[in-house]
Structure formats: structure tokens, C-alpha cells
Amino acid sequence: MKKEKNIDALIKEALSKEEAEYYDKLEEKPVLKQFVGLYKGKNSWMNYMVTFYILAAIVGCIYAGFQFADAVSTKEMLAWSLVMLATFIMIAMLKIWSWMQMDKGELIREIKRLELQLSVIAGKRK
């Protein structure tokens, strides 16, 4: 960790003011900012759609839970428990997809940092 801070300091010293500001923008963002970032950009419509489906699945799961509690026969209980299971799985898969989108953004940001570091190293060699 200490070496990483030293490397970052050396890189910032070698960069111009504009490049240093750009380098600072590439820092890792907190999870909440990453989540909000899902709703910006070209694929924001897809993230809104996924959020809608997650909310619909939550409502469906709650409804199935109440129906399960009111069920009289074992067959009805089994049916409503399968609906709850399906909605739980749907919610989990959509959440995993959202986390993968957040991770993709972090990977792209890290690749940009590496590109900037390589350009600094290449500039020193000339």
C-alpha cells in the first residue's frame, strides 16, 4: 500500500496540471457513487429496466408470501413457495448483473489509469 502511494506521488509529479487532474478523476469511487453511475450513460435505460424488474419481483415475492400464508392445501403452498423461489432467484440474478456493471466501470477506470501510467513512463524514456 505504501509503495502504491509513492508510485502515485511520482506519477503526479511527472504529469502536467491537466493530466494530474484527469488522473485524480480516475480514483476508485465509493459504492454509492458507482451505483448512481449505473443510471448515467448509454445503457442507463437498461439499468432503469432492471431496477423496475427487481421492484416488480419484490412485489411479486411479497404477494406470493401472503398467498402462501393463506393457502389451505399442500398443493397451493407448494405452488406459492415455487413462485417465491423463482422471484428470489430473479432478484438475485438481476442484482448480480447490476454488480457486474459496476465492476465493469471500475475495470475501465483502472485500465485508463494504467494507460496514463504507461504514457508517463514512455514520456520519460524519450
Q: One digit per residue, pLDDT tens: the chain, 126 residues?
A: 555 566 666 666 666 666 667 666 667 777 788 888 888 888 899 999 999 999 999 999 999 999 999 999 999 999 999 999 999 999 999 999 999 998 988 898 888 888 887 877 777 666
Amino acid 65: pLDDT:
96
* Cβ atoms of 23 and 12 closer than 8 Å: yes
The label of the residue with cell 496540471 reads 17
pTM of the model: 0.70
Round to whole Å and give the CA distance between 121 and 126.
9
Using a 10 angstrom Cβ sphere, with 0-12 exposed, 13-18 middle and 19 or more buried, the burial of residue 87 is buried
Amino acid 6: pLDDT:
67
